[in-house]
């Protein structure tokens, strides 16, 4: 049940915004499968995770692929 809740939370925040520029259905689909640093920061802020902004950025950079996008599996590792 906890994993199902984390899936819903991840999907909600991953779909917060679509990147600008050349937008295709494939790029939209891909953007829905990853969190960027802004979406991760919004998640931490709204869930009132009691750490400083710098710490949140550091956690994101250490977890995310090439420090730019976090997959569901990477997200899951941090919150289970």
- Cross-strand pairs, 70: 35
pLDDT tens per residue across span 37-55: 999 999 999 999 999 999 9
Percent of the chain surpassing pLDDT 90: 57
Assess whether pLDDT exceeds 90 at residue 25: no
pLDDT tens per residue across span 53-75: 999 999 999 999 888 889 999 99
Q: Where are the alpha helices (DSSP H) in the chain?
A: 2-14, 25-31, 37-46, 53-63, 72-79
What are the extents of the domains in the chain?
Answer: 2-79
Write the CATH number of the domain with boundaries 2-79: 1.10.238.10
pTM of the model: 0.82
Please compute Rg for the chain using Cα positions: 13
């Amino acid at each position: 049940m906890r994993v199902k809740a984390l899936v819903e939370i991840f999907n909600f925040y991953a779909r917060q915004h679509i990147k600008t520029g050349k937008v295709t259905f494939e790029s939209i689909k891909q953007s829905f499968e990853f969190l960027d640093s802004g979406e991760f920061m919004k998640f931490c802020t709204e869930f009132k995770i009691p750490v400083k902004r710098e710490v949140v950025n550091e956690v994101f950079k250490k977890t995310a692929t090439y420090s730019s996008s976090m997959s569901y599996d990477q997200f899951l590792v941090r919150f289970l």
